[in-house]
Amino acid sequence: MAPNLEGHVALVTGASRGIGRAVALRLAAEGVKVAVNYNSGEAPAQQLVDKISAQGGEALPLQADVAEEAQVKSMVAQVRKQWGRVDILVNNAGIRKDRLLMRMTTREWDDPINVNLRGAFFCTKAVLPLMVRQRRGRIINMSSVVGVAGNPGQANYAASKAALIGLTKSVAKEVARRNITANALAPGYILTGMVEELSDDLKQMILDRVPMNRLGVPEDIAGVVAFLCTDEAGYITGQVIRVDGGLAI
């Protein structure tokens, strides 16, 4: 188990499935109280909360569209009312609207930017005053290997994930003196709903590019998140950590 996390409070956005779900479960296993944010997945979010509770943890389901500032403010206020603090923010909520740039509509460009980037901005802005008062905080932004290297048909998604890296580095510099760290993870191809939808041929093409010759699983990401939340990771900030099986080497 990761030390130092017992009794801390985390807000994990987009936590009803995939990487967010794995992160919420891992943090709860470390004794963290977890606010489980979801937008439309009420049933899986409640199932996750029930599972955490059954394992002796504490969790709270919170519906909010992170692209809407008023909803984010209300969500953070609920977390504060429930537990009085926020120690960890994991900006995981994200969407894709894949299309070649020359065919991409303005709406298809805007939607990933609004959720992936604007949502992280709203959530970070909402929790920072609490972390500053506490003089401790951990902010982890879920970028992507696509945000580092780009990908055809994903200019909108890649732009949002690359911008998250810039946001991470800037926030890290702004709040470092308050014992608050901000880091980004850049996952490779992780076995979530998005990847499972790919054809077998495309999955094989991906595997051929991954030196470890396997796709990642959400737990690969959750373990790194848990470490970054500890005191042992307190001197790590402004970093982009690739968790991709060597894909970006």
| C-alpha–C-alpha distance, residues 155 and 152, integer Å | 7
Q: Is 249 helix (H, G, I), strand (E, B) or coil?
A: coil
Given the residues 38, 157, 189, 235, select the one marked as catalytic: 157
CA 210 to the chain's CA centroid: 22
- The answer to whether 101 touches 155, Cβ cutoff 8 Å, is yes
Q: Distance between terminal CA atoms of the chain?
A: 30
189 is catalytic: no
- DSSP tag of 91: E
Pull the structure tokens for residue 12.
């994990």
> What does residue 177 show for φ and ψ, rounded to 5 degrees?
-70, -15
Specify the DSSP element, H or E, that contains 160: helix 155-175
Contacts of 187 (CB under 8 A, 6+ apart): 19, 142, 144, 145, 216, 220, 221, 243, 244
- Which residues are known catalytic residues? 157
